[in-house]
Amino acid sequence: MRAALNRANFVGGLFSFRNIKSMSSSSTQNFVSRSVIKKVFAKLQKEGDGAVVRRGISRSEQKLLDPFLMLDEFSVSPPAGFPDHPHRGFETVTYVLEGGITHQDFKGHKGTIYAGDVQWMTAGRGIIHSEMPEEEINKGLQLWINLSSNKKMIEPNYQELSSSDIPKAEQDGVQVKVIAGESMGIQSPVYTRTPTMFLDFTLDPGAQFHQKVPESWNAFAYVLESGESGAVFGSSNASPVSAHNVVVFGQGNDGVSVWNKSSSKKLRFVLIAGEPLGEPVVQYGPFVMNTQAEIDMTIEDYHYGKNGFEMAKYWRSQ
């Protein structure tokens, strides 16, 4: 990423609105919410070189949450980080919550994203990159989104949005940042190869909201901040959900309802939804394909530096 992010920056890819008909509503009239079918507490674990993550989505949730492969809430301080590593077959979305992350790859793309900025990276046929902390405290989310079989071998691509370029709206004590998709009548400019919604909500104490989601899409929420009795999803009398929990919703109905039952603390969560691919998933670490034969070929390509990994033997991040 480029260090100066003062406008939307799209490198070698498409700029397009995705109309997913996800109009939002602040009224409960005629709105039928999806039910909560699973809650997963994101436990701390080590990742990269000395970094710590809370893994909210892992392989056990992939069938419920197709096309999503992984969600990490990361926390990293120098000298720890995520040094040179490869990817193939999917996209990564990095959303910085605090500090900054410096990225560089073997195609010469380099820059830093700071708090509130987003990098939407399509690894496609192959990328090798590093993601290293810029400040003393650096926190954020990284989401992995699968690509369909006919898009897994496309050329790598980046979409970058600074915080000031992310569309925002507010009504009735609810604020939303529209990273992908649509809410409160505003749309993100991000083009999603796998149709995706990524919304960052903040609810004042006592506020509620009802977000439409296409019926066939899979959806989940991840709670970032919440009061003791704050985050309530699906039904107003449901049990509250604490921070660092993934809330998985069933399919169907109009969308997702949420209430902040706290009397004093704001509720912050991301709502993420996407159109299922319905394809086999074979994953080997940072490689995600449809068959074991394709994984074997990917490992060979990476080892011998071919079919998208030509620079693998020679490139090292600075």
Report the predicted TM-score, pTM, of the whole model to 2 decimal places. Answer: 0.90
How confident is the prediction for the chain on average, in pLDDT?
A: 90
Q: Does domain 40-164+291-317 have CATH number 3.30.870.10?
A: no
Domain boundaries for CATH 2.60.120.10 within the chain: 40-164+291-317, 166-278
Q: What is the CATH number that goes with domain 166-278?
A: 2.60.120.10
Is the per-residue pLDDT at 159 higher than 60?
Answer: yes
Q: Are 111 and 103 in contact (CB under 8 A)?
A: yes
Is the per-residue pLDDT at 3 higher than 70?
Answer: no
pLDDT on residue 253 = 83
pLDDT on residue 314 = 87
pLDDT on residue 28 = 57
Rounded average pLDDT over 129-142: 96
Question: Distance between CA 72 and CA 99 in Å, rounded?
Answer: 16
pLDDT on residue 11 = 38
131 annotated among ligand-binding-site residues: yes
Rounded to the nearest 5°, which phi and psi values hold at 202?
Answer: -130, 125
87 annotated among ligand-binding-site residues: yes
Summarize pLDDT for 95-110 with one digit per residue, the tens: 999 999 999 999 999 9
- Find the angle CA(163)-CA(51)-CA(285) to the nearest 5 degrees: 95
85 annotated among ligand-binding-site residues: yes
Q: Are 308 and 86 in contact (CB under 8 A)?
A: no
Is the per-residue pLDDT at 162 higher than 80?
Answer: yes
